[in-house]
A and B are shown apart, each in its own frame.
Chain A
Amino acid sequence: MSKHILAIDDSASIRQMVNFTLKSAGYHVVDAVDGRDGLERAKSQQFDLVLTDQNMPRMDGLALIRALREMPAYQRTPILMLTTESSDEMKSQGRAAGATGWMVKPFDPLKLIEVVRKVIG
């Protein structure tokens, strides 16, 4: 049974590329357009992995991670940041918020698959 991944990004083309990459690796992917949309989808369905952007309207990635970590169902779920932010300060905030890992865009599809396999198999 394929693992379910929630991919959150306000950029339609990034969502499309993430979707294409992970589906080709055998994963089932659900999209969300921003943090708030992602939170709603996470409440309605349990995902094995959450992949989120940082800079998004309405709710950014860090706020989303904090909200997810308060939910019992997502306290241990891996959450990967996929963002253009690469500063150590932002990474520290992500780690403090509960992120599992930090990937900087533009991402390498092969490396994305490798990391996802490493995290959820």
Chain B
Amino acid sequence: MPHCSVRLLVVGCVWTLVVGVVFTAVPEFSGRLWTCIAVVAGGWAGILALSARGAKGEGDAAAAPMAHFESELATCMSAFEAQFQAIELESAQMLGVLADAVDQLSDGFEALHASVSHPVPAVATEANTSRATLQRVVVALDQVLETEVAHSHASQTLTVLTEALTARTQQASTLLNEINAIARQSGLLALNASIEGARAGEGGREFVVVADEVAALSLRTEDFSAQIAVLLGAMQGLLGDACTAIDAAKAQNTLGVRDVKAQAEQLLAASHDSADVGTMSPASALDADTAKLVQALQFQDIVAQIVGHVLARVGGMREALAELGGVAHDAALARDAGAVSAVCDRAERIGQRLRALAVHTENPPVGRGATPGGSIELF
């Protein structure tokens, strides 16, 4: 039973007792039962009226704190709603990030598996490169061989020419010796003819004939000289041919050397390429796969940060809800302005804590809609 009703009953009973005593003890009122009843009833009515007015006053006094309480409660509910919405957003964000992470991890592991288990393409590429390189080596060697054969032919020709030249030179030498011998004989004959012609006088005419013979020999000598000149010309031509053959051999040799050099340079470059293919590519592929996995691991970190953020929200809300439950219980028991005001203050403090929680969790650890990331911009 409410406290005010007991008090009203007590006051009414006291009033009834007093009126009964007065009407019993005072002779002027004795026998006036209806008057007594009327007075008692009027007193009760007045007490009830006063009680009602007092209750109304107390209600008016409690109305304002209650309105405040309801306002604070509405604020708390709004704060809770905002936190729930934020949690929903962050949960959706986590789901998205996790999906990206799973996709990227799957891709990364597949690529890594392919790189580790099936290095065949790289090896095949290397083998093809090596085969092509070897084929070019063979071709280059063939060219070197052909060059050497040609060089040998040129050398043989040079040898034949040289031998011919030697023979002709010997012939020329023989001819020259003969010419010299004839020249010497011609000189002696001419001298003798002159001497003998001078001695004989008229009879030395015969010697004149001899002198003519000597003149004929001289002519023959001139003829031999001309032949020698022709032979020498032929020798010079042979020498020229020999020089040309030698030059051709030199040029062919030079060209061959140049070709071999060029081929060697190309082979060198090809061997570098082959080395790059054989050693760098698999390592680069592994680096790229590892980088992809490191990138995927960061998704996990992003999710962990968001989860931590959500946990902070949930923890703060759990404390606020527990406090709010206590406030609601006390508010149900509050029967005066002081008690209502007290629960209002507590509800206001809960609202303040929720606002602080909102500020604390306002700055998310991860930018919304950030993934998949990886972009770089230099200012």
A binding-site residues for B, Cβ under 8 Å: 10-11, 13-14, 17, 21, 54-55, 60, 83-87, 90-91, 94-95, 99-111, 115, 118-119
Contacts and interface: CB of A to CB of B under 8 A. Distances in A.
Contacts of B305: 11
Contact of B295 (A55, A86, A106, A119): A106
B369 A86 contact: yes
B94 to A, nearest CB: 13
Contacts of B299: 106
A54 B366 CA distance: 9
Contact of A85 (B287, B298, B367, B378): B367
A105 B370 contact: yes
5 contacts: A101-B377, A104-B373, A106-B299, A108-B292, A111-B376
Contacts of A111: 374, 376
A107 B104 CA distance: 13
Given A11-B301, A111-B376, 20 more contacts: A14-B301, A55-B365, A60-B363, A84-B366, A84-B373, A85-B370, A86-B367, A91-B377, A99-B379, A101-B377, A101-B379, A102-B377, A102-B379, A103-B376, A104-B373, A104-B375, A108-B291, A109-B290, A109-B294, A110-B288
B79 interface: no
B166 interface: no
A106 B291 contact: no
A118 B367 CA distance: 27
- Size band of the B side of the interface? 20 to 34
Nearest to B374: A108
Contact of A118 (B302, B363, B365, B378): B378
Interface string B335-376: 000000000000000000000000000011111011111111
B367 A101 contact: no
Contact of A102 (B296, B297, B371, B376): B376
Given A101-B376, A106-B372, A118-B378, A55 B367 contact: yes
Contacts of B301: 11, 13-14
Contact of B375 (A55, A95, A103): A103
B377 A107 contact: no
A113 B310 CA distance: 33
A107 B373 CA distance: 7
A74 to B, nearest CB: 16
A111 B304 CA distance: 24
A52 B375 CA distance: 16
